[in-house]
Amino acid sequence: MRSSASGYLIERVEKGDADAALELMGASDWGSALELFRTASEIRDRALGRRVRFIGHVADVSPCSVTPPCRYCSLSSTIREYRAQRSPLALREVIEYSRHLVDAGVPAILYGGGISPASGTIATSIARSVREFSDVELLFNVGPIGEDHVDELGRLGVRRFVLSLETMDRALFGDARPGDDLGRKLEFVDLLAGKGMGVEPILMNGVGAPRDLVMSIAALGDVRNLVGLRFSTFSPVPGTPWEGRPPASALTTLKACAIARIMYPRIRIDLAAGTPDGVKPLSLLAGCGDEMVGVIVGRRGSRDSIGELSGYAREMGFSVDAPRAS
């Protein structure tokens, strides 16, 4: 039994109490935040162990036909060079990047891209090509795809999908992603569940207020195949409808990680691409793990953070499964 006021709230969050989670998110004293992070870390250590592994991410593998484009996305920018950042890679480039990641020894590769009628075909083409040279675990975030493609990916060994939900609030979803369909995405989650496949939603801090983020975390309690959760932190892109919004708070993102860890002890929690520099290593203090994207490659350049992240992780007493870490 925890004795402090925030300890009592944490016990209620462990039971899925969204109101208690809202109070924790809103607490502005430093002591409450530290207790939240310490509890989340202890829960992670008990549920998953104090270890972390690093996976690879290939970005922009598929085009996007969502119309109008999401209001925070560079595809909605009036500035051509921002829109061009989302030009999809050719399959040949995706496979070259995949070979590079496999050669580097990553245990899993996440492929991300836009949503279009071609997404399922692209995902299965990638998976078939990679299977010619590797049995590395494959994850896809290319939006809902048809059942036939899900089945084929299942035969190729895919066991979990990442899905950009951003929020579980329909009104906020419609505001942020006016060309997308939350209902269709939740049907896709159900389809995956029916096939024994896991889902790892992405929630965005900055779509709505911090309380909306907490309510979305709590709403995921109904998702029976929830195996992971990724948090992104809104940052304005010039020329987009949301260019004038202030960037979301990294501290709120870390609190969200901790609340999610307390509610869902065994899932994998990570910060999504676009996290402000320097925040990702701190996420281990807030209960994230036991898997992190350590390398991102794609049209917008390559970034290998495995050395930096594994250094921080070791300093914090984690055992590290890092392909090229010394």
Q: Where along the sequence are the contacts to ligand SF4 (CB under 6 A)?
A: 64, 66, 69-70, 73, 75, 86, 114-115, 177, 180
With residue 51 as reference, give the H or E element that holds it.
strand 51-58
Inter-residue contact 235 to 279 (CB < 8 Å): no
CB of 256 to ligand SF4, least distance (A): 19
State the DSSP string of 80-113. HHHHHTTPPPPHHHHHHHHHHHHHHT-SEEEEE-
CB of 111 to ligand SF4, least distance (A): 13
Which residues neighbour 265 within 8 Å (Cβ) at sequence distance 6 or greater? 43, 44, 46, 47, 48
CB of 179 to ligand SF4, least distance (A): 7
CB-nearer residue toward ligand SF4: 88 or 323: 88
Inter-residue contact 291 to 250 (CB < 8 Å): no
CB-nearer residue toward ligand SF4: 52 or 207: 207
CB-nearer residue toward ligand SF4: 206 or 289: 206
CB of 67 to ligand SF4, least distance (A): 9
Which residues neighbour 172 within 8 Å (Cβ) at sequence distance 6 or greater? 207, 208, 212
CB-nearer residue toward ligand SF4: 40 or 70: 70
CB-nearer residue toward ligand SF4: 180 or 291: 180
CB-nearer residue toward ligand SF4: 69 or 210: 69
Which residues neighbour 144 within 8 Å (Cβ) at sequence distance 6 or greater? 115, 163, 184, 185, 187, 188
> From the centroid of its chain, how far is CA 140?
11
Q: How many residues does the chain have?
A: 326
Q: How many CB atoms lie within 10 A of CB 206?
A: 25
Q: Is the dihedral of CA 74, 79, 83, 85 positive or negative?
A: negative
CB-nearer residue toward ligand SF4: 75 or 286: 75
CB of 209 to ligand SF4, least distance (A): 20
Amino acid residing at 170: R
CB-nearer residue toward ligand SF4: 178 or 311: 178
CB of 314 to ligand SF4, least distance (A): 35
CB-nearer residue toward ligand SF4: 207 or 257: 207
CB of 64 to ligand SF4, least distance (A): 3
SS3 category, 171: helix
CB of 110 to ligand SF4, least distance (A): 15
Distances (CA, A) of 258 to 132, 172, 215, 265, 274: 39, 23, 14, 10, 19
Q: Helical H runs in 132-209?
A: 147-155, 170-176, 182-194
CB of 288 to ligand SF4, least distance (A): 23
